Structure 1
Amino acid sequence: MVGFFPTPYPNELLYSTLARFHIRSGNISPKSTIEELFGSRSVTAVVDLSSNIDSLVGNLPIGNNQTSENLIMENTLYPFYSAFLPPERATIVLQSMKGNSGGSIHSRTGVMASTIKENRYIRVCKECSIESLKNYGELFWVRNHQIPGVIICSKHKTLLYDSKVLIHHFNKHEFVPASVDNCNISDEYTNLTNIGEVIESEFIPKYIKIVDNVDKLLNNRYPNKPPEWFFSQYIERLKLMGLANINGVVKQKELREQFLNFYGESLLETVQSSINDSDSSWLSTMVRKPRKTVHPIRHLLMIQFLGITLEELLNEEVDYLPFGESPFPCLNAGADHYLKPIVTDMTIRYDSKIKRPVGTFHCSCGFVYARSGPNSSEEDRYKVGRVKEFGQIWEAKLKELLQMDLSLREIARRLKADVNTIKKYGQRLNECESELNHKGKENIINGGSFRQEWLDLQKKYPEKGKTELRKINSRLYTWLYRNDRKWFNSSSPKKKQNITVNNRVDWDKRDAEILELVKAIVEEILNSNDKPERITISRVGKKIGKLSLLEKHLSKLPRTNEYLLQNTDSVRDFQIRRIKWAIKECEREGYDVQWWRVVRVAGIRDEWTEELEVEFERISSINSFN
């Protein structure tokens, strides 16, 4: 147990607090410090997502009121990186940070697989540093400044700059404190204060809103939602904006164009989220069924583009209602409830010809009408595109008006219909009345003989049902159905009960089986001494002979899906594995491990060499230290 522990400053990184402890403890060796704090000499100093925090809290002085959860939520980047994770995975990351499972934290949050790169150096705001010296007499590392893509201080709106301290320090056990020397606050180049030098002026307010939302994520505890929640919310909003049809199919080209116009290329470059015309860009991937973890910065970009707030996204479920909310008005001018909101039966389909949703409204009075949407005003609720069925009540009203000897034009005005429609249905009513009079006489003459004929037909074909008998004598069937239905239904063969066999797939069992196969293949790829293969869903699917299943039904295999999310390679992950393999190959062959040789052995493309050289240096430094 340590004799003292510094109180964390507001928004101070836990890494920074531990660095201040190291200075005040008088320890010369970083390993002595971590042994005092954690009871172990193998703990790694991590800037963003620290681990072993339970051990730390257990070694704090008696009376110290810090808890593991408070330190994680208030002094690490966990609230930011966990905000859009599924609840179960966010819990696992939290437990890993409390415990000693630090090695899986960055992969579970998606940091490792993201194309948004970590900052290379710890970042500093000059104004915050001056205030810190004035208020506390020392500097500290502010957690809000360490988010990749955030280049301004949310408090002062001035540009951040790199300190001299690497995020991944050469000594992985050393907590490096902020100081006047390593923060460069006296250097002239730190006086950059004009964000307009980096982002076009018209897009600066949108960028500031993104930075403010980063602060919200860090300083509030929002409920975690499953990936399907965000996908559904985004699609529903895109429908409202006309960028997705009623079936949820996104108009990718229009989305990319509007997104780029909304943010501008300079802003997107600043947050490492440029988009191209490819359907495989991060933006296109984000509005498809969720299979990968998306960086929180990109969620914040999408949220602002859709015109919603964080609170609305996380607390309010949005439904696309192109025709407004139920109930809808009945537009049957022949009914007593005309224009009253009583219609609750409404179906929507997407018309690919007119590229618009079409709603069909069914009233209990038999009146069925349809119109295209979406509504542009409240008056649209009272418009009819096409009447599909008028119904008996409307026809009865028409008959009543015809008997009043009104003109067709007057009847059409009262029933809100075309004159030709009135003519058509008037003639039909007259024909039906004549037919009914004729059938009434026919019923008296033929009813008995038709009944007997139906009974005889059943005796002749005792094994057949009503539908099969209809095919044998459709005329007899139709007559009895129309004119003697009650007797017909009671004197017909009863409907046979079909015995259905349950051939449904046991997806839980299949998930367990596929998961074992997938794990075996992933382990085989990772443990192979041959040149690395990239771990992708398609490659794993091909190797286990289940490619179609993984492509079409992965959502029904939750454990397999979760495992693949954690273990598939991004392009960057794969390139790093190739570098590590190439280093081992060079050592095995007895060559000097030099960057140009590693590039050649690993087969790294030119466009990756500059970025990956930083990783090579980090890996080499770790290897040499060990």
Structure 2
Amino acid sequence: MLTFFTDPHEDELLYGAIARYHYYIGNIDYKDTLRELFGRDSVIPSLYLPCKLEHLAKQLGKKYTSDYLIKNHTLFPFYAPFLPKERKNTLINTMKFEDGQGIYTRLGMVAGGICKKEGIYYCPLCSQKEIKKYGEAYIHRIHQVQGVFVCPEHEVKLKKYKIDKTKASRIEFIRLDEKLLELDIERKAIDKELVKIAQAARYLLDNDLAAFDKEFVAKKYKELLDKKGFLSVNKTIQQKKLYNAFIWFYGKELLNKLESDIDQDDEYNWLKVISRNSKRTVHPIRHILFIDFLTEDIKHFFKSKEEGYSPFGESPWPCLNPVAEHYKKDVVTNLKITADYKTRLPVGTFSCTCGFVYSRKGPDQFEEDRYRVGRIKAFGHVWENKLKAYLKEEKYGLREVARLMKCDPKTIKNFDKKLGLNYFEGSKAIVKEVKVNKAQGKEIDIQAYKDKIIGTIREQPSLSRTQIRRLCQKEYSYLYSHEKEWLFSNLPKKMNKQEIDYKSDQRVAWDVRDTEIVEAVKEAHRKLLASQKPIRITKSNIGKMLGILPTLEKNLDKLPKTKEFLDSILESVTDFQIRRSKKIIDEKIARKEPVRLWEIQRLAGIRTKAFNKIKDSLEAYINRGG
């Protein structure tokens, strides 16, 4: 066991600490140093990934472990999150127990290496600071990372040390000599993207990401690609769309500097490989580029191994059992997300401990969506016990019980029979008529179809047959084929155009409806403005949101208040681009981040020609402080 060793500094490569040990111990032959530290003189010093670390740790006593040295004083953490689990464990064992032969090939640096550094690099400002504090400069891990050209702390260009490691002896340990350091700073402007890449690389080195591996990263990529709209309906990657967006995001000049050009016609270009979760090796710098493109924050990407795309917001979620004491309180933690078989949109199934299970289609866009039920899958024991209590009182009619339980009378009758209470057994039957559609192999709820037609007629008695058919296409089509007699007997009588116009004015109190609709439109407008993802304010979007688009398109002249309000809020494409950009500016100011127009353009996704038209307006907005 050694009685003396030069303790490695923060972010110092183990290689540099050994070089200082050799210098201070006074050894003339490097083989003596190798035998003292590693037990044999055939070990080849490695700048990035040293080996035989278990033996070295034993020589150092209880002060260091091999795991500590790997984590804090080698470049292994820079590569680890992007390696398959088995290969990662194999490489760790190689660094601990073996001589390191072929380690770079196993890592994938030979096949996937980019921006290779032939020498040792240092930051002039870091070196100045260390000479003042320690009396000497040392070799930083982050400064040796391939693809890192600037110091992430001082944002200055790195310099190459005058002694070239590739031209020195294989067993020589090179130490930074103050006399050979150039400590002047190059004043040339530094590309901010290069600074951001260096800071992301430092994040990989400085944080414990042992729980992450290639499988997790690939899964997270797929979720983010889906969220960003780069997946088709059948969940395949739209590679051309991804390529165009990626090139626009970075520009070819930066990608060329990082030796990360993309040949779109190459089936195995690195962008296709990284997005498809291929078995091929992709350099961590390219992972950093891809993560920055998808999230613009590597910290958020690795925030939690369990955390992914949350189309229904964060846990817990509200229970929507209307008779439970915890109604609308956030108590649900059990959520299962599946994909709608047609649209592939996420469908969330929420299960509460009270037994109430409901589902809805996502993703949620507004806070109110958290309290929306698409379908009730189970009412649960709390709901059933409440129903039993009401029925045992024997003082409520069917519709009164349905009102108290906040459900349909047919549901009450079904549970009355299911629970064996038979309280309404003698009452007039409410039959849920169901037939099987043989062509589609699905159950069709005919009564629900009929209710939809009748409900539409009651809500809007002025509608013609054609308008009802447009509003209830699925129901109308099925009933026309299977229940034509019922359909025609319940539809309004046929009218010519003059009759339609006359009866519409007679039956509908347009002044009352105008007041109702304008309030609904104002509320929709507030929700659109508050939406986390900006949505353009158009008549179409508001109409679809409220389910009154036909009314806004055909009867707006009869709704003067609504028309006046709509005219005052509707956005042109330019208006929407300005609002979208201002939202990004406000967020940056709130986070105390620098506001740069080129970055605003990129984040807002606006083409240069269009952005030039709104640039002056945005500059004025920035100068006012948002």
TM-score normalized by the length of structure 1: 0.54
Write out per-residue CA displacement over residues 382-438 of structure 1, whole angstroms, 9 at most, x where no aligned residue: 999xx998623324647988999x9694999999944996698389547589xxxxx
Deviation at 1:136, TM superposition (A): 0.4
- Identical amino acids, percent of aligned pairs: 30
2:252: which partner in 1? 265
1:119: which partner in 2? 117
Tell me, in whole angstroms, the C-alpha distance in 1 between the residues paired with 2:314 and 2:285. Answer: 34
Report if the CA contact (8 A) 2:121-2:160 is conserved.
yes
Please point out which of 202, 213, 238 is paired with 1:215. Answer: 202
1:14: which partner in 2? 14
1:131: which partner in 2? 129
Tell me, in whole angstroms, the C-alpha distance in 2 between the residues paired with 1:275 and 1:142. Answer: 31
Please point out which of 188, 199, 204 is paired with 1:194. Answer: 188
Give the partner amino acid of 2:186.
Answer: L
Tell me, in whole angstroms, the C-alpha distance in 1 between the residues paired with 2:77 and 2:485. Answer: 75
Q: Secondary structure at the match of 2:256?
A: helix
Report if the CA contact (8 A) 2:453-2:476 is conserved.
no
Tell me, in whole angstroms, the C-alpha distance in 1 between the residues paired with 2:90 and 2:474. Answer: 70
Deviates more, 1:146-155 or 1:104-113: 104-113
Tell me, in whole angstroms, the C-alpha distance in 2 between the residues paired with 1:24 and 1:75. Answer: 20
Deviation at 1:38, TM superposition (A): 1.4
Tell me, in whole angstroms, the C-alpha distance in 1 between the residues paired with 2:457 and 2:255. Answer: 72
Write out per-residue CA displacement over residues 162-217 of structure 1, whole angstroms, 9 at most, x where no aligned residue: 112334453111111111233333xxxx5314344xx4xxxx1x332221111111
Judged with a 3 Å threshold, the aligned counterparts in structure 2 of structure 1 residues 261 and 346 are, in CA distance, closer, same or farther, namely closer
Give the partner amino acid of 1:16.
Answer: G
Deviation at 1:377, TM superposition (A): 6.8
Judged with a 3 Å threshold, the aligned counterparts in structure 2 of structure 1 residues 423 and 33 are, in CA distance, closer, same or farther, namely closer
Write out per-residue CA displacement over residues 117-172 of structure 1, whole angstroms, 9 at most, x where no aligned residue: 42011001111111111000112111110001101111111100111233445311
Q: Secondary structure at the match of 2:162?
A: strand
1:348: which partner in 2? 340
Write out per-residue CA displacement over residues 283-325 of structure 1, whole angstroms, 9 at most, x where no aligned residue: 1221123211221111111111001543443425576788999
Give the total of aligned pairs.
394
Indicate yes or no: 2:75 matched with 1:77. Answer: yes
Indicate yes or no: 2:298 matched with 1:306. Answer: no
Which blocks of at least 5 consecutive residues in structure 2 are unaligned? 321-334, 350-359, 375-439, 488-626
Please point out which of 425, 444, 453 is paired with 2:479. Answer: 425
Report if the CA contact (8 A) 1:322-1:357 is conserved.
no
Write out per-residue CA displacement over residues 24-44 of structure 1, whole angstroms, 9 at most, x where no aligned residue: 111111111111221211011
Give the partner amino acid of 1:49.
Answer: L
1:393: which partner in 2? 447
Indicate yes or no: 2:275 matched with 1:287. Answer: yes
Give the partner amino acid of 1:249.
Answer: T
Please point out which of 217, 237, 240 is paired with 1:230. Answer: 217
Deviation at 1:378, TM superposition (A): 8.1
RMSD: 4.6
Tell me, in whole angstroms, the C-alpha distance in 1 between the residues paired with 2:287 and 2:348. Answer: 37
Deviation at 1:101, TM superposition (A): 3.5
Report if the CA contact (8 A) 1:18-1:175 is conserved.
yes
Tell me, in whole angstroms, the C-alpha distance in 2 between the residues paired with 1:413 and 1:265. Answer: 53
Task: Give 1:403-422 correspondences, 5 Å limit.
Answer: 409=463, 417-418=471-472
Which blocks of at least 5 consecutive residues in structure 1 are unaligned? 331-342, 351-355, 363-369, 434-626
Tell me, in whole angstroms, the C-alpha distance in 1 between the residues paired with 2:466 and 2:368. Answer: 22
Give the partner amino acid of 1:260.
Answer: I
Tell me, in whole angstroms, the C-alpha distance in 2 between the residues paired with 1:410 and 1:383. Answer: 31
Please point out which of 48, 61, 86 is paired with 2:84. Answer: 86
Tell me, in whole angstroms, the C-alpha distance in 1 between the residues paired with 2:456 and 2:157. Answer: 81
Give the partner amino acid of 1:348.
Answer: D
Tell me, in whole angstroms, the C-alpha distance in 1 between the residues paired with 2:14 and 2:474. Answer: 80
Write out per-residue CA displacement over residues 488-524 of structure 1, whole angstroms, 9 at most, x where no aligned residue: xxxxxxxxxxxxxxxxxxxxxxxxxxxxxxxxxxxxx
Deviates more, 1:263-272 or 1:374-383: 374-383
Indicate yes or no: 2:30 matched with 1:36. Answer: no
Tell me, in whole angstroms, the C-alpha distance in 1 between the residues paired with 2:275 and 2:72. Answer: 32
Report if the CA contact (8 A) 2:165-2:174 is conserved.
no
Q: Secondary structure at the match of 2:47?
A: coil
Tell me, in whole angstroms, the C-alpha distance in 2 between the residues paired with 1:281 and 1:420. Answer: 46
Report if the CA contact (8 A) 1:148-1:271 is conserved.
no
Tell me, in whole angstroms, the C-alpha distance in 2 between the residues paired with 1:176 and 1:423. Answer: 82
Q: Secondary structure at the match of 1:262?
A: helix
Tell me, in whole angstroms, the C-alpha distance in 1 between the residues paired with 2:171 and 2:293. Answer: 42
Deviation at 1:253, TM superposition (A): 2.0
Judged with a 3 Å threshold, the aligned counterparts in structure 2 of structure 1 residues 321 and 139 are, in CA distance, closer, same or farther, namely closer
TM-score normalized by the length of structure 2: 0.54
1:66: which partner in 2? 64
1:159: which partner in 2? 157
Q: Secondary structure at the match of 1:165?
A: coil
1:249: which partner in 2? 236
Give the partner amino acid of 1:148.
Answer: Q
Deviation at 1:243, TM superposition (A): 1.8
Report if the CA contact (8 A) 1:408-1:419 is conserved.
no
Report if the CA contact (8 A) 2:120-2:164 is conserved.
yes
Report if the CA contact (8 A) 2:54-2:66 is conserved.
yes
Give the partner amino acid of 1:303.
Answer: I
Task: Give 1:181-580 correspondences, 5 Å limit.
Answer: 181-185=179-183, 190-196=184-190, 199=191, 204=192, 206-278=193-265, 279-307=267-295, 309-314=297-302, 315-316=304-305, 348-349=340-341, 391-395=445-449, 397=451, 409=463, 417-418=471-472, 425=479, 428-429=482-483, 431=485
Tell me, in whole angstroms, the C-alpha distance in 2 between the residues paired with 1:191 and 1:133. Answer: 16
Judged with a 3 Å threshold, the aligned counterparts in structure 2 of structure 1 residues 323 and 137 are, in CA distance, closer, same or farther, namely closer
Give the partner amino acid of 2:256.
Answer: E
Report if the CA contact (8 A) 2:14-2:74 is conserved.
yes
Report if the CA contact (8 A) 1:86-1:225 is conserved.
no
Write out per-residue CA displacement over residues 450-473 of structure 1, whole angstroms, 9 at most, x where no aligned residue: xxxxxxxxxxxxxxxxxxxxxxxx
Give the partner amino acid of 1:425.
Answer: L
Judged with a 3 Å threshold, the aligned counterparts in structure 2 of structure 1 residues 143 and 410 are, in CA distance, closer, same or farther, namely same
Q: Secondary structure at the match of 2:110?
A: coil
Q: Secondary structure at the match of 1:218?
A: helix
Judged with a 3 Å threshold, the aligned counterparts in structure 2 of structure 1 residues 410 and 322 are, in CA distance, closer, same or farther, namely farther
